[in-house]
Amino acid sequence: MRTCPSHNLTDLVANLREFSEYMEAAIERRRREPGEDLISALLQANEELLNPADLITFTRLLLVAGNETTTNLLGNGLVALLRHPSEWERLQQDASLVPNAIEEMLRYDSPVQAILRVTTQDTEVAGHPLAKGTRVMLLLGAANRDPRRFPGPDHFDVTRDPQGHVSFGHGIHFCLGAPLARLEVKVVLEELLQRVHRLSFAPGQEDSIDWGGNFILRGPRHLRLHAERR
Ligand code: HEM
């Protein structure tokens, strides 16, 4: 592992440049030969709305915002289900609970643990004054375990009413990809429930999950599972 900050910064700049070049080429290909993909659709949007530089930034945002987050929802959700076998059994008995279970997975172990903001005016939160221009970190994972909103918040229950969780953020920046993320995980869970009779951690996995050490994005780096087919 590299620890020198200047190395990390150099790597970061090089990676960003490489990514932009990759995206520029992908966008150029779609410009020549439009398909039924998202980049082609964005290219057809008004150029004033999304100029070429915006387009690269937007594709980068979509890729980053939509990738690890959804992977983490699936990883965190499976860990929660495997640690609570009664909840997995409930889903096996009634797959119509899957959409609600996904909301509970989002609440119980939030894939995005925190978001950042800068106050635009002097304000106060829970009696603490915050001057204009203060940087604040909003702990979504903690809000999702607030006992004033969710009774018994540390209890994972696929039938609970999880409405009001903030895993996709709140307000005008509410996650653009929430319906896609929900759909992806619904498809995976429904397929698993149909095909797999018993699902468990592979030997030694449960006690050695590598959570990656990322404070903002939480999810297992790898998850070795054992599945018995139906
Ligand atoms: C479980 C999966 C996901 C989680 C937990 C998640 C979480 C979030 C959160 C918390 C925000 C708010 C950020 C803020 O207010 O600072 C956000 C915004 C956003 N998300 Fe997601 N996201 C997920 C999946 C996706 C997917 C699949 C896409 C796209 C393919 C996506 C695209 C975006 C975009 C573009 C924004 C910015 C919206 C804006 O600023 O107006 N996300 N997401």
Rounded to the nearest angstrom, the distance between the alpha carbon of 129 and the centre of ligand 1 is: 29
User: Ligand 1, residues 38, 69, 218: which to mutate, most atoms within 8 A of Cβ?
Assistant: 69
Q: What is the pLDDT of residue 67?
A: 93
Question: Which ranges of 35-120 would DSSP assign to H, the alpha helix?
Answer: 38-44, 52-83, 85-93, 98-108
This prediction's pTM: 0.90
Q: What is the pLDDT of residue 101?
A: 98
Q: Is the CB of 139 under 6 A from ligand 1?
A: no
Rounded to the nearest angstrom, the distance between the alpha carbon of 73 and the centre of ligand 1 is: 12
> Which residue has the least CA distance to atom 41 on ligand 1?
173
**Ligand 1 atom nearest residue 117's Cα:** 16
Rounded to the nearest angstrom, the distance between the alpha carbon of 207 and the centre of ligand 1 is: 30
Q: What is the pLDDT of residue 5?
A: 53
Residues 6+ apart with CB under 8 A from 217: 68, 69, 72, 111, 112, 113
> Which residue has the least CA distance to atom 16 on ligand 1?
115
Residues 150, 164: Cα–Cα separation, whole Å: 9
How many CA atoms, within 13 angstroms, populate the side-chain half-sphere of residue 116?
A: 6
Residues 80, 74: Cα–Cα separation, whole Å: 10
> Domains in the chain, please, with CATH?
45-109+144-229 (1.10.630.10)
Residue pLDDT, tens place only, 45-76: 877 778 888 888 888 889 889 999 999 999 99
- Mean pLDDT (10-residue bins), the chain, 230 residues: 60 90 91 92 80 86 92 98 96 97 98 97 95 97 97 97 96 96 98 95 94 92 94
Q: What is the DSSP letter of 45?
A: S
